[in-house]
């Protein structure tokens, strides 16, 4: 029980093709909408709204600075991630990381 393409007119086939292309173009949007509805329902089951949950996801507390540039006290670094240029230059010039601790 499928579509009998052989019995369809050229215009019917063209319309079917347009309908299929439109469905393919919108499938991701429809699936995203379904996923959002499912996520909203799951959040409600736990007593939250999806907006409340999204506000807390990805929030990181800002880490305090651990090191200060001896030549420019406005430049600081937490000690995490890539070393700033000023930190590398200070190390290369003979300073130790302890010299720059805050």
Q: What are the backbone dihedrals phi and psi of residue 58, each rounded to the nearest 5 degrees, phi first?
A: 85, -5
- Structural domain spans, the chain: 8-56, 67-100
Residue 95 has pLDDT above 90, yes or no: yes
As a whole number of angstroms, the distance between CA 96 and CA 102 comes to 13
pLDDT digits 0-9 by tens, 18-60: 999 999 999 999 999 999 999 999 999 999 998 888 887 766 6
Average pLDDT over residues 5-28: 94
Segment 64-86, tens digit of pLDDT: 999 999 999 999 999 999 999 99
d(CA 64, CA 80) in angstroms, rounded, equals 11
Q: Taking the model in full, what pTM does it have?
A: 0.43
Using alpha carbons, list the distances in angstroms from residue 15 to 8, 18, 95.
10, 5, 74
**95 against 60, higher pLDDT:** 95
């Amino acid at each position: 029980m499928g579509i009998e393409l052989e019995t369809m007119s050229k215009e019917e086939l063209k319309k079917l093709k347009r309908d299929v292309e439109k469905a393919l173009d919108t499938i991701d949007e429809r699936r995203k909408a379904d996923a959002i509805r499912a996520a909203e329902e799951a959040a409600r089951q736990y007593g939250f709204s999806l907006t409340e949950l999204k506000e807390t996801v990805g929030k990181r507390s800002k880490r305090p600075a651990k090191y200060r540039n001896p030549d420019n006290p406005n430049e600081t670094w937490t000690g995490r991630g890539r070393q700033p240029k000023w930190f590398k230059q200070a190390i290369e010039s003979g300073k130790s990381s302890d010299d720059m601790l805050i």
